[in-house]
A = this chain, B = another copy of it.
């Protein structure tokens, strides 16, 4: 019910269902990102996915559950990319589409942070609709997806937290800055800067955006020439 190993589910489930669910994910991500969860009808989603309305209910049971699983789906992708940017190549997983960045990041934790923020911004550029859905519904209270968001948010913050932790171990940092608040600020800035770039400032480069968010990390570490000999 929570998070099963992705590989197992996929191969066990009949091919047709998997394809249908993927089509529904793609279609609803697009439509919901544009007009919001409440602004899109199940009929529209079904039509855009090229299936009938009944299929939506056969596969997901309700509009609400479709959206919950859509959120989980998107977070799985984002989390995998963030982790791929800092961990050494994980065995048994095909990381075909995600560029291996371990060469650039195996050394300095600050460079690892930078790679991770870059991955986050790439994700926002590739799935802007997911980012819009997230910021639209995340802070709603009470909400149908309150519990879903709490879990997913925790998973993503844990990944960011681990990267910040490594920086804090390798460098002298400003201990007056609360770790949690900083992680929240970085996490949120990735969404907001990514969305703003797409909506209002398409001319801004990926690197400019990364640099702006990284400024907060450079402000967090105390000024010392180099921590390692």
Contacts and interface: CB of A to CB of B under 8 A. Distances in A.
A57 interface: no
Nearest to A40: B38
A19 B68 CA distance: 41
A60 to B, nearest CB: 20
Contact of A192 (B36, B39, B184, B204): B184
A39 B132 CA distance: 17
Interface stretch (A3-11, A91-99, A208-216): A208-216
Contacts of A48: none
Contacts of A209: 181
A174 interface: yes
B219 A214 contact: yes
B200 A193 contact: no
B220 A215 contact: yes
Interface string A186-229: 01110111011011110010001101111111111001000000
Contact of A185 (B141, B187, B215): B215
Given A188-B192, A192-B189, A204 B181 contact: yes
Nearest to A178: B208
Given A185-B212, A212-B181, A212-B185, A35 B196 contact: no
Instruction: Report the copy number of this chain in the oligomer.
Output: 2
A180 interface: yes
Interface in A127-141: 131-132, 135-141
Nearest to A210: B181
Contacts of A214: 219
A72 interface: no
Interface of A: 34-39, 131-132, 135-142, 150, 153, 174, 176-178, 180-182, 184-185, 187-189, 191-193, 195-196, 198-201, 204, 208-209, 211-220, 223
29 contacts: A34-B141, A36-B37, A36-B137, A38-B39, A132-B139, A135-B136, A136-B137, A138-B199, A139-B199, A141-B199, A177-B208, A177-B211, A177-B212, A177-B215, A178-B208, A181-B193, A181-B201, A181-B204, A184-B201, A185-B212, A185-B216, A188-B192, A189-B192, A192-B192, A212-B216, A215-B215, A215-B216, A215-B219, A219-B220
